[in-house]
Structure 1
Amino acid sequence: MLKIIFPTIMLLPMTLLSSPKLLWTNTTMYSLLIATASLQWLSPTYYSNKNLSPWSGIDQISSPLLTLTCWLLPLMIIASQNHLQQEPSPRKHIFIMTMIFTQPFILLAFSAQELTLFYIAFEATLIPTLILVTRWGNQPERLSAGIYLLFYTLTSSLPLLISILYLHTQTGTMNLIMMKLLHSPLTNSWSGLLSSLALLLAFMVKAPLYGLHLWLPKAHVEAPIAGSMLLAALLLKLGGYGIMRISMLTNYSLDYLFYPFLTLALWGALMTSSICLRQIDLKSLIAYSSVSHMGLVIAATMIQTHWSFSGAMILMISHGLTSSMLFCLANTNYERTHSRTLLLTRGLQPLLPLMSTWWLLANLTNMALPPTTNLMAELTIMITLFNWSMPTMILSGTAILLTASYTLYMLLMTQRGPIPPYITSTQNSTTREHLLMTLHILPTLLLIMKPELISGIPS
């Protein structure tokens, strides 16, 4: 674990000491080296926990998310290069350091075996994200988005802290492995029920559950490209991962506690897919599609079977790569047209033919077409949902139908149709952008050959 965390922390002084000419090369190459080293975490092992220490450990649930975290930092640096071209050198250094600063906290949150450490790392990720959104966002509304993000997160995480302290008084330990071995401390009493609710609430807001999701579209729309990638690919996954970890501690006899969450998650997947069909802002459309996909993840984690956890894990990794790629594509359009409005950025296929290929690939992956891991994830989740209760077929089936509809709508609106008369010339797509898209789509296509690496089930 320290073999990755220490080099990541050492990225900070390296960024400070790099000359402006070599800044992007140094940080990208170094972070790519860290990402390559992190692939060893995916290797199958006989033991359920690797690198186990009193405060951290890696198992089948955390290893794919840890690798995704390391993989995304170089991609965020590559994507931000054009966005920061006009900025003075000190600001470039500060921006890259803010991005790097997030990674050790996310790595700690995903690998923590101790609830206090998990809580501190979980909350600490908010600080750099808030700085990215409020300082480097594009419009004045970024301050309002930052306030939404801050207060939604803080309001929901205070009950989580109280519940963690209550668990400590009940069990005498904060170690997750010890807590799993002990008999469930949360009884059928009112205190047990409220503690279970408080434990789940913070992660439901982070995931986000429909009804607690209003901060997400605002934060996505106002954030710079690195902020959007960070939110979509990693911070939402902290919510799903937290639910997986904490639901193992809640009382199994409290089945009725999960019904409202399941219903809201599936209804939310349906509603947000419908909202996507009416969006005029490209980034807002992709943000709402994230809420829809994470709704399926929440529904799967609530059922708590091997299959549902496996489906949720695969969908989290697939969605992390796909939504991040869609935000990068939306950003390439925005850098050329300076607008995110779908009606004003139509017909870009004749102007950027290679980019339209990436658009097609990203949208087909988002629709969960074979042979992508998204399809495997959605099929697994569907089977567990139908097995749990047949009427879920109506909600989840309609949501998936609507997902295909809004994805095709997004593809047709951006790529087809007449070229707007005011677009007289556009900058050609660059090698940097093609490399960025390749590094997003390649893992998605390769993982279908060995999906057990990310399925969360011991191989």
Structure 2
Amino acid sequence: MMKYLLFMIFMTPCLFMKSSWYLYQIMMLIIMMIMMINFNMMFFFNISYFLGLDNLSFGLVLLTLFIGFLMIKASNHIQFDFSSNMFLMVNLLLIICLVLIFSVLNIFMMYLFFEFSLIPLMILILGWGYQPERLISGLYLFFYTLFASLPLLLIIMNLYMTFNSMFFDMIYYLNVSFFIYFSMIFAFLVKLPVFMLHFWLPKAHVQAPVSGSMILAGLLLKVGGYGIIRFSFMCELSFNLYSYILFSMCIVGTLLVSLICLIQGDVKCLIAYSSVAHMSMCMMSMLTMFKFGIIGAYLMMIGHGLCSSGLFCLANMMYDRLGSRSFYINKGLICFMPNLSMIMFILCSFNMSCPPSINFLSEIFIMISSISYWSCSIYYLVLISFLSACFSFYLFSYTYHGQYFMMYSYMTNKVREYLLLLIHIIPMLMLMFLMDLLF
């Protein structure tokens, strides 16, 4: 694992070369390919210097490198700017932080990088965001994360004093105090985010540049899910005793957020709230503590990371051409950008978990595990599925249909944009053929 990390660290001087923009993208793909070639089905592999990958973190590290490549591909307008090298530097720092979160075996190191990932993200939002409100959204993000993660630091200190170890595999915590349980997962609930702790997310998403939105939706929300899965293996007793409280909160939250999606007037806001709804479903599935629940949550994290990232790219393409993200102005785009209507339809369908995407399989697993945990949840799940289909259809029909203010049709898309969107869609389809790896 150390060789991949050193590869990324030694990329730093290359970012100040003349053709660094394309070099960075190629390097990210090379690391990803080397990792895929070296993959084996052992419980832990690539172990070196307190770093290691298992089947859970392997997919998330690959997703990190993949989204890192796509972020640069989507931010092509910065390429000719004087700050392009700095932009690449901040992106690389953020990718290294996320790879370390997913691959360290030490709880304290994971906490350290969990906190440190906030700094490059803040620089990204404040430096390349759009409106002046980005200052407020950066503060929201900063203080929510800081406030929630301090109890986790105290719990980590307590774990070290109890077990004299900080390795995930060496700890089996039998304390069943609700206060300790909540303090342990509070930081991850804010990062995920679940309903009532989600207020920072729409603000951060709307004000972030396209690369910031992609990494927020694609990866930083997954850090919360990853942390909860890791800690649930360490504290099974607490999770079994108290899961019902958060489970019920997630069900109510998913329903309410799905309804909030239907009254949004901003395209990026709707996609951000849909992320909250999907991550609350993901949380429900993790709290069941069943094998299908964990697999469903994991697949939802991977599928949502690609789908949501693609939708943010499309929202940015609309914003570039029309100068607005409002549903009242982005109308009739099927006349203005006809070639993108099919891709938008596919991404909206995958967002509502239609086959043959990975999201469909993950939703089936989530439903199986939730109904096994509490049989009455079937009524809520049917309603959640219906509402998620409603807001995805609302997103497509309101932007691509209706009357556009120009009476003729022409295509204003670049080949780079088609490539970017297809690279989001193809893995979601291809992952369906790799499902035998999970069983």
Q: TM-score range by the shorter chain?
A: over 0.9
C-alpha deviations, 1:220-262, integer Å up to 9, x for none? Answer: 0000000000000000000000000011122415634212211
Q: 8 Å contact 1:62–1:110 — kept in the other structure?
A: yes
The 5-angstrom pairing of residues 86-235 of structure 1 reads: 87=81, 89=82, 91-179=83-171, 184-188=172-176, 192-235=177-220
Partner of 2:37: 40
Aligned amino acid, residue 167 of structure 1? L
C-alpha deviations, 1:330-349, integer Å up to 9, x for none? Answer: 00111000100011011111
Change (3 A) 1:253 1:339: closer
Change (3 A) 1:205 1:452: farther
C-alpha deviations, 1:264-319, integer Å up to 9, x for none? Answer: 11211111111111100000000000000000111111111111000000110000
In the TM superposition, residue 195 of structure 1 has moved relative to its aligned partner by 1.8
Q: CA RMSD in A?
A: 1.6
> Could you tell which deviates more after superposition, 253-262 or 335-344?
253-262
The 5-angstrom pairing of residues 302-381 of structure 1 reads: 302-381=287-366
Change (3 A) 1:253 1:213: closer
How many residues are treated as equivalent by the alignment?
439
Q: 8 Å contact 2:107–2:166 — kept in the other structure?
A: yes
What SS does the aligned partner of 1:51 have?
strand
Partner of 2:70: 75
Q: Which has the higher contact order (CA 8 A, sep 6+)?
A: 1
Normalising by structure 2, report the TM-score. Answer: 0.96
Change (3 A) 1:260 1:428: same
Q: 8 Å contact 2:2–2:51 — kept in the other structure?
A: no
Structure 1 unpaired stretches of 5+: none
Aligned amino acid, residue 411 of structure 1? F
Aligned amino acid, residue 28 of structure 1? Q
Partner of 2:27: 30
In the TM superposition, residue 85 of structure 1 has moved relative to its aligned partner by 5.4
The 5-angstrom pairing of residues 228-307 of structure 1 reads: 228-252=213-237, 255-307=240-292
Q: 8 Å contact 1:170–1:185 — kept in the other structure?
A: no
Q: 8 Å contact 1:141–1:222 — kept in the other structure?
A: yes
Q: 8 Å contact 1:282–1:341 — kept in the other structure?
A: yes
C-alpha deviations, 1:167-187, integer Å up to 9, x for none? Answer: 1111111111111xxxx3342
C-alpha deviations, 1:146-168, integer Å up to 9, x for none? Answer: 00000000000100000000011
Aligned amino acid, residue 198 of structure 2? H
Q: 8 Å contact 2:335–2:410 — kept in the other structure?
A: no
**Hey, what's the Cα distance between the residues in 2 that align with 1:403 and 1:429?**
29
Aligned amino acid, residue 297 of structure 2? A
The alignment-based identity, stated in percent, is 36
Residue 59 (str. 1) matches residue 54 (str. 2)? yes
**Hey, what's the Cα distance between the residues in 1 that align with 2:236 and 2:56?**
21
* 4+ residue runs over 3 A deviation: 253-256, 423-427
Change (3 A) 1:57 1:23: closer
